[in-house]
Amino acid sequence: MCSTIALNNGLIVPVIGLGTWQGVDSPKEVEKAVRFAIDAGYRHFDCAAIYGNEKEIGKVLREKISDGVVKRENLFITTKVWNDDHKEEQVVKACKKSLKNFGLDYVDLYLIHWPVCDSDDVDYVETWRGMEKCVELNLTKSIGLSNFNSEQVNRILKVAKIKPVMNQVECHVNLNQKKLRDFCKERGIAITAYSPFGAPNTPGSNAGFKSTEKVALDSPIIEQISKKYNKSKYQVALRYLIDIGTIPIPKSSSESNIKANFDVFDFKLTLEEVEEIDKLDSGKRTCPAFQYKGFKYYPFDAEF
Ligand SMILES: NC(=O)c1ccc[n+]([C@@H]2O[C@H](COP(=O)([O-])OP(=O)(O)OC[C@H]3O[C@@H](n4cnc5c(N)ncnc54)[C@H](OP(=O)(O)O)[C@@H]3O)[C@@H](O)[C@H]2O)c1
Ligand SMILES: *[C@@H]1O[C@H](CO)[C@@H](O)[C@H](O)[C@H]1NC(C)=O
Ligand SMILES: *[C@@H]1O[C@H](CO)[C@@H](O)[C@H](O)[C@H]1NC(C)=O
């Protein structure tokens, strides 16, 4: 049984979600993945306009709803506004377009995908006003941020009429985000952990890693814990993220991996084990977004 976390607006989110950025996989693959995931018990799906597969995902969700397998109110659907739609009125349009793609009346969470906009001239504070409008129009139940650093989160909190419920950031055993997690926790903002395995098979990822550091999941401590609980290193990585209070969203297209990634609710790491894994932190990103380096709102120059 998947455990859940209550967001600061009372909405309940399952602590494991399916990542749907398929990298090299096709939208048809994601369709199959969503079907496997619902059958395995997943109710939380992490999507984005830029992933180009909202239509396929929506088709499966609606099929599963009409077949009586799930109820809409038991699903938690996230999607994100892309960096070319940051103006206030564009945000509402983009949200409506995502809903049309899904064939749904609302999403549960709408995120600003990045604080940076492609044209480098729209302040994300303006984008936030568009996000609030999406809540007022009942297009989404809640709104939040992704890839925002602590200073950027603070700037939003200063102006927000509606508080962000979430900051979705890269988080895994190599980059456990301790400071940003503590910062967000104090402010009632939950953390979704993206690339929970460090996106091992994505071309162009691991940009911040030396080849020897790429595979922290292969470290002896993970191996040892994995043996102790008879769980795979991937399951240990997910359990670590849950035990430090985040919401991991592993991507997989394989039925057996999708099932295995959900089979993490029958064990829990000890405090000592969490502290051992904490030591694997290298502070390096698989997703440094170098293409935005030098942009006004590039998030990764701040300490956290
Ligand atoms: N907000 C953002 O800017 C942002 C950025 C990046 C990612 N995300 C979100 O986070 C999600 C997850 O991150 P990610 O896709 O970058 O990478 P990830 O989840 O860390 O890694 C996915 C890779 O791990 C493999 N895998 C999954 N489960 C496995 C298992 N049990 N055993 C062995 N291999 C396994 C998958 O292969 P198979 O498919 O073959 O299983 C896939 O190649 C994305 O899909 C997206 O929704 C958000
Ligand atoms: C949004 O939903 C609330 C509660 O159901 C309702 O009172 C309100 O009129 C709706 N707003 C719009 C713009 O549809
Ligand atoms: C270990 O896990 C595997 C796969 O989940 C299972 O088949 C096996 O029976 C387990 N072994 C023990 C000793 O529990």
Q: Token pair for residue 252?
A: 């997989």
Domain with 16 in it: 4-293
Ligand lying nearest the CA atom of residue 30: 1
Q: Is residue 270 part of a domain?
A: yes
The C-alpha atoms of residue 147 and residue 116 are separated, in whole angstroms, by 9
Ligand 2 centroid to residue 139 C-alpha, Å: 10
**Number of compact structural domains in the chain:** 1
- Helix (H/G/I), strand (E/B), else coil: 167: strand
Q: Is residue 271 part of a domain?
A: yes
Task: Decide the pairing of beta strands 247-248 and 190-194.
Answer: parallel
Distance from C-alpha of 288 to C-alpha of 206, rounded to nearest angstrom:
9
Angle formed at CA 61 by CA 143 and CA 37, multiple of 5 degrees: 95
- The CB density around residue 138, as the number of other CB atoms within 10 Å, is 9
* pLDDT, tens digit only, all 304 positions of the chain: 899 999 999 999 999 999 999 876 788 999 999 999 999 999 999 999 999 999 999 999 999 999 999 999 999 999 999 999 999 999 999 999 999 999 999 999 999 999 999 999 999 999 999 999 999 999 999 999 999 999 999 999 999 999 999 999 999 999 999 999 999 999 999 999 999 998 877 655 555 444 444 556 889 999 999 999 999 999 999 999 999 999 999 999 999 999 999 999 999 999 999 999 999 998 888 889 999 999 999 999 999 9
Tell me if 304 is assigned to some domain: no
- What CATH number does residue 194 fall under? 3.20.20.100
In a domain, 299, yes or no: no
The Cα–Cα gap between 77 and 12 comes to 12
Is the pTM here over 0.85, yes or no? Answer: yes
Examine residue 301 and state whether it is found in any structural domain, yes or no.
Answer: no
Pocket test for ligand 1, best of 34, 206, 251 (most atoms within 8 A of CB): 251
Q: How many angstroms does the Cα of residue 88 sit away from the middle of ligand 1?
A: 31
State the catalytic residues. Answer: 51
In a domain? residue 300 = no
- Identify the CA nearest to 287 among candidates 190, 82, 147, 135: 147
